[in-house]
Structure 1
Amino acid sequence: FVPFKVLTGHDLRTDYAVAFFAVAFAIASIYLMVQLLRRFFPKRSFGFLVLSHLVMLMSSGVLIQVYLPQIYSLPMLSSLCFTCLGLGLWLQARTTQDALSETPYLRKSLLILGAVCIALNLWCRPQFILASLFAFVIFKEEIVKYRLFFAFKRSSVINTICVIAPMILIGLAACWYNYARFGSPLDFGATYNLTGFDMVHRSYSWARIPWGVWMYLFQPITITPVFPFMEQSVLPSMFHGQIIMEPFFGGLLAYSPVCAAVVLYPVVKQQLRKKQLAGFFTLGLTLSILLMVLDAEVVGISSRYFSDFGWLLALCAIMVIASLVDKVSSCAHMVDVPSGCVNETGEESPSKANFKLMHKVLIILVISSVGLC
């Protein structure tokens, strides 16, 4: 807002800023999907890319942020944008020097830009800085096998500095700003928000967590025969305490049922391990649960906070579905009779039929998510 005022002499409307970052997030999201599928699932089609992008949009809470273009939407949308852009840049950073070389080459410019984007979360929504942990799973092979990070080699030292230095510099600037404004380098000013409850003296209870998880994930939509055919969800009455709740109509799985695919992780665990994605999945699922619990405890229940953890669940679900499709399609293209992929009569094999059915189910789930949202 300040740079816009300085450059133009006019005040920037909040809804314009929200719309800008919503579009920026949509572009950054599809960029992340392109890099993820290009590196780990190169056989997936353009149609799968489009469906994956829709899943990310439906699960990230971006629609509620745009529908209510308040100042609260800006930190979340900007962090979503910078996080997707940063992760995409890190995924794209790996390349090879030549066709005969097995040792990967890391593009320094992309390492730096990715680190800058991730570090900018400290100036937007600070909890998104946890996305920096994905560097350890994205560059796992480079760290452990090829020693391109954290080793006493010139190339390793340069790569490490390219990732760490931007985060340290931007982090120090954020700490200085916090100290100058709030008196502490680690005080980001969250408790100074003008809210409907006392955030400074907020109490915490373990008993609030199960109800928060239920509301954020599993609460179904309350359907009525009267327009608009939905009712606001009711707070759980069994909790003996205070749960802050804004108008809420259903949990994430009610709007984006595709995210339930994370429960199929045991089926594709070996495939994800071969692709070096098991750690990516585990970290994403862990962070999503952690952020969901923190939201329930600290700020209560609100559809706006889907933006904190929904995109992580969507990312995990996309990896599982892509691995599952790869697993089934690999069998569908085999011609080995004992495997059950081709029968003697020349009819369509069960595996190939299952492969087509899976695509139809995925399309139906995505369309239903779009319709519900």
Structure 2
Amino acid sequence: MKQPNIDSPAGHIIYAATAVALALGLVGVSLLNGMAWSDDNQEFKYNERFAQYIDEDQYARLADALIHGSLSLELPVSDALAQLDNPYDFQSRYNVSNGGENPIFWDHAFYEGKYYCYFGVVPAVLIFAPFQLITGQWLDTSVAVVALGVAFVGAAALPAYRIARRYFARTATLASLIAALMFLFAGSNVVYLVFVARFYSVPILTSLILTFLGLWFWLGARRDAQQPANTPRRGNGGDHHDAAQGTSIRTTPRLSPAHLAVGSLCMALNLGSRPQFILACLLAIPLFWNEIMHERLLFSRKGIKATVAAILPFALVFAPLLWYNWARFGSVFDFGSSYNLTGFDMTHYHQRLLLTPVLVFYYLLQPIDLSFSFPFIETTEMARPVGWAPMEPMFGGYFWLAPMALLVFLLPAVRRELKSRNLWAASLCMLAFAAIVLVVDTRTAGVTQRYFGDFGWYLMLVAIFVMLSLQAQKAELEEQVKHLTGRIYLKVAPLGVRHRKAITAFIVCAIAFAFVVGGLSLFSPERYDSIAALNPDLWDAIMRAIG
């Protein structure tokens, strides 16, 4: 049966229905451990292992502080903590906590006797503060995480469609478009972030949404206007003949300042949400390279309006965010993460260079640890052979949990297709940015599956480019060999059409594998915020059901 065209009403409905199904799936994920729907109104939770309090409403508290004109959080500072020579040393804090009688708050920035939120302020300004101003209530963090997860699906669906429609309009099918959305869904770690519905997930999800919206607006900025060929030239347009009218038509490219401005605004806001995502702003260079260097639609006299629209949002956003850093910590480049009260002293932590490649291996290539008992997957064992680094439970490396990303290794095979579509340089930049973010995350914070969301989406976008390029190659080869028969076809087709069918089978299996493994990992009792720990009634019911 022939697939509906991606631009047809049926194609739009099916694609939208897929996105809705994924969003509903995330809501279902949030029900498993009950974090987003808990009626536990305890303001602070004491953690006996760390002998410190955890404030799950850190973002709501930051929003409340901003509303009342304060940059620091309204949290009690114990004399025992204030008098420590080095409050960032975990053992020192543990010793003076006295079983919680001297309250100390976990994962907060502590600087000059005050608590601060070192997580990006943008979610507090855009989400939590408006909610409080409208309702008079604090927005529950876990509910916000679920809402952000649902919004992420919509945000991811937009650039996936735009990429297929703009760069692969003749060859992209509805199946490949849906696969692209599945790539971004599984490869951006959104299921993990929604399941662990704590404030840690808020800035990552917010930046994923902002980045995908930014890309969508940027990729939609180009407008190709058509005018009669005898119209005076104002740019490097292309001519073609309209047979129906008997006239020659010229296509004149232009850029929408509104799209550029909104896209840049979304990208710039990453600095105040999850700074690791700020590298995505540099994707504008390869994406608009032709408009900058050849068509002169940017950074030229005729492109002055578009240029201002693209650059001004960065100045308007960066200025207050850098002031926010300076007002709290005395430096525009100090985001406060080094003053975090966590399990190690981040002000003095220096990771051994020999350990970093080991941790990168864990991030990317650590095999999955299977078992014979439900849920058939366990957290992996990760040694520290040459030094210490913080590590959190993981279920395997990125390429194991999202095997669709392996398509990036076929990038050289589609170089010609990507160059012809002006996506080759963007692909290389995405791989480079993913590597940079991965190394920075590894060296500053060790290993945690949560950080897959920082770099995984780069790899998935490149994988999408490869998948759509292979499909374009397949269509071209089918056109070339369709007139061949018999032995000639058997000699030509295996090198073209047939092996691409194997790649299609790999993509289907990889998506299924990612969803199955990701789903099973949710039931592991070894993971953070496990169902067994937070929803024991459901866990007992599951155990009874599987016998």
Please report how far the alpha carbon of residue 369 of structure 1 lies from its aligned counterpart in structure 2 after TM superposition.
1.3
Alpha carbons 1:259, 1:314 under 8 Å: kept: yes
Q: Determine the structure 2 residue equivalent to 1:9.
A: 136
Aligned-partner SS, 1:103: strand
Residue 203 in 1 paired to residue 350 in 2? yes
Give the paired residue count.
Answer: 367
Alpha carbons 2:438, 2:455 under 8 Å: kept: yes
Please report how far the alpha carbon of residue 3 of structure 1 lies from its aligned counterpart in structure 2 after TM superposition.
2.5
Equivalent residue in structure 1 for 2:361, among 207, 214, 230: 214
Q: Return the TM-score normalized by structure 2.
A: 0.65
Aligned-partner SS, 1:197: coil
Q: Can you list the C-alpha shifts for 1:63-90, whole angstroms capped at 9, x where unaligned?
A: 1110000101000000000001001110
Residue identity matched to 2:176: F
Residue 69 in 1 paired to residue 186 in 2? no
Q: Can you list the C-alpha shifts for 1:90-109, whole angstroms capped at 9, x where unaligned?
A: 00111111163343111111
After superposition, where does 1:43-122 map in structure 2 within 5 Å? 43-98=171-226, 100-122=249-271
Change in 2 beyond 3 A, CA 1:180/1:346: closer
Q: Determine the structure 2 residue equivalent to 1:359.
A: 504
Equivalent-residue separation in structure 2 for 1:187 and 1:283 (angstroms): 26
Please report how far the alpha carbon of residue 303 of structure 1 lies from its aligned counterpart in structure 2 after TM superposition.
0.5
Larger CA deviation: 225-234 vs 115-124: 225-234
**Structure 2, unaligned stretches of length 5 or more?**
1-127, 228-248, 519-547
Please report how far the alpha carbon of residue 336 of structure 1 lies from its aligned counterpart in structure 2 after TM superposition.
6.5
Larger CA deviation: 354-363 vs 323-332: 354-363
Residue 131 in 1 paired to residue 258 in 2? no
Equivalent-residue separation in structure 1 for 2:392 and 2:422 (angstroms): 40
Q: Determine the structure 2 residue equivalent to 1:175.
A: 322
Equivalent-residue separation in structure 2 for 1:223 and 1:285 (angstroms): 30
Q: Determine the structure 1 residue equivalent to 2:463.
A: 317
Alpha carbons 1:212, 1:293 under 8 Å: kept: no
**Structure 1, unaligned stretches of length 5 or more?**
none
Equivalent-residue separation in structure 2 for 1:192 and 1:345 (angstroms): 69
Aligned-partner SS, 1:249: coil
Residue identity matched to 2:199: I
Equivalent-residue separation in structure 2 for 1:233 and 1:61 (angstroms): 17
Equivalent-residue separation in structure 1 for 2:424 and 2:402 (angstroms): 23
Equivalent-residue separation in structure 1 for 2:252 and 2:351 (angstroms): 49
Q: Can you list the C-alpha shifts for 1:274-329, whole angstroms capped at 9, x where unaligned?
A: 11111010000000011111111100100000000000011111111211121122
Instruction: Provide the alpha-carbon RMSD of the alignment.
Output: 1.8
Alpha carbons 2:270, 2:277 under 8 Å: kept: yes
Q: Determine the structure 2 residue equivalent to 1:292.
A: 438
Of Structure 1 and Structure 2, which has the larger fraction of its residues in helix? Answer: 1
Equivalent-residue separation in structure 2 for 1:2 and 1:183 (angstroms): 25
Q: Can you list the C-alpha shifts for 1:155-174, whole angstroms capped at 9, x where unaligned?
A: 31111111110001100010
Residue identity matched to 1:180: A
Aligned-partner SS, 2:220: helix
Paired-residue identity, %? 35
After superposition, where does 1:238-277 map in structure 2 within 5 Å? 238-239=385-386, 241-277=387-423
Equivalent-residue separation in structure 1 for 2:271 and 2:510 (angstroms): 35
Of Structure 1 and Structure 2, which has the larger fraction of its residues in strand? Answer: 2
Q: Determine the structure 2 residue equivalent to 1:343.
A: 486
Q: Determine the structure 2 residue equivalent to 1:145.
A: 294
Change in 2 beyond 3 A, CA 1:237/1:172: closer
Equivalent-residue separation in structure 2 for 1:4 and 1:222 (angstroms): 42
Please report how far the alpha carbon of residue 228 of structure 1 lies from its aligned counterpart in structure 2 after TM superposition.
2.5
Equivalent-residue separation in structure 2 for 1:254 and 1:303 (angstroms): 12
Aligned-partner SS, 1:334: helix
Equivalent-residue separation in structure 2 for 1:179 and 1:237 (angstroms): 37
Please report how far the alpha carbon of residue 25 of structure 1 lies from its aligned counterpart in structure 2 after TM superposition.
1.3
Q: Determine the structure 2 residue equivalent to 1:35.
A: 162
Alpha carbons 1:86, 1:118 under 8 Å: kept: yes
Please report how far the alpha carbon of residue 355 of structure 1 lies from its aligned counterpart in structure 2 after TM superposition.
4.0
Q: Can you list the C-alpha shifts for 1:222-273, whole angstroms capped at 9, x where unaligned?
A: 112233322221223422x112101111111111111011111111111111
Q: Determine the structure 2 residue equivalent to 1:226.
A: 373
Change in 2 beyond 3 A, CA 1:342/1:26: farther
Please report how far the alpha carbon of residue 127 of structure 1 lies from its aligned counterpart in structure 2 after TM superposition.
1.8
Alpha carbons 1:343, 1:349 under 8 Å: kept: no
Q: Determine the structure 2 residue equivalent to 1:163.
A: 310
Change in 2 beyond 3 A, CA 1:342/1:184: farther
Alpha carbons 2:226, 2:252 under 8 Å: kept: no
Larger CA deviation: 354-363 vs 299-308: 354-363
Please report how far the alpha carbon of residue 19 of structure 1 lies from its aligned counterpart in structure 2 after TM superposition.
1.0
Change in 2 beyond 3 A, CA 1:236/1:344: same
Alpha carbons 1:332, 1:355 under 8 Å: kept: no
Please report how far the alpha carbon of residue 344 of structure 1 lies from its aligned counterpart in structure 2 after TM superposition.
6.2
Equivalent-residue separation in structure 2 for 1:125 and 1:342 (angstroms): 56
Equivalent-residue separation in structure 1 for 2:486 and 2:353 (angstroms): 56
